[in-house]
Copies of this chain bind each other. A is one copy, B any other.
């Protein structure tokens, strides 16, 4: 079972690592990490990750997963990246994304007419690419499975692990990763946070990551 992730410069590393950690534990999973070359790829967390394969070397994936992050804006206009996503997405069994990765899927035409999730700050942008934004942590529509912002990738990964293997396997992975979250504050969604906190996050992101 071939599970492929697209990475790109200045990505949000946890968007990718959350689901990758979960899905790499599914029996029979082979992880592929794609970029146009095999050089180290920067992330937004101060260190770089290594691709395992170039676009040109890629066999057809069973699962395609697109992460998001500040670097999203540049790859949204990168024809080579869009072609790769379109080509893999056309035949993958599951076409998936986490966070603003859904904007890239949508730009590649893979979410046209599909319900999809996204990081809450950018969710409405999905409409301009023909997708139907849904305010949920994980959104399923036919073979599209899309997650909300960053940490939603862990919940997304476990839901996908259950589909790829079984509930029992996903549960053992959840216990192995000791995923019994205890957030220190109750402000992790825009519905729970205050107006000022939301404004601050939107302001920070608009300054640093003007995504469109």
Chain A residues at the B interface, C-beta cutoff of 8 Å? 12-14, 17-18, 20-21, 24, 29-33, 40, 44-52, 99, 119-120, 137-138, 148-152, 154-155, 158-159, 162, 167, 170-172, 174-185, 187-190, 192-193, 197-198, 200-201, 204-205
Contact = CB atoms under 8 A, between A and B. Distances in A.
Given A21-B150, A119-B178, 4 more contacts: A170-B185, A174-B183, A179-B181, A179-B188
Contacts of A44: 24
A94 to B, nearest CB: 16
Contacts of A21: 12-14, 45, 150
A151 B178 contact: yes
Query: Considering the complex of A and B, which 6 residue pairs feature the smallest CB-CB distances, nearest first?
Result: A149-B178, A31-B46, A180-B188, A181-B181, A180-B189, A14-B21
Contact of A151 (B24, B154, B193): B154
Contacts of A176: 149-150, 201, 204-205
A48 B17 CA distance: 11
B181 A154 contact: yes
Report how many copies the assembly holds.
2
Given A14-B21, A17-B14, A52-B47, A192 B178 contact: no
A50 B52 contact: no
Given A17-B45, A46-B20, A200 B172 contact: yes
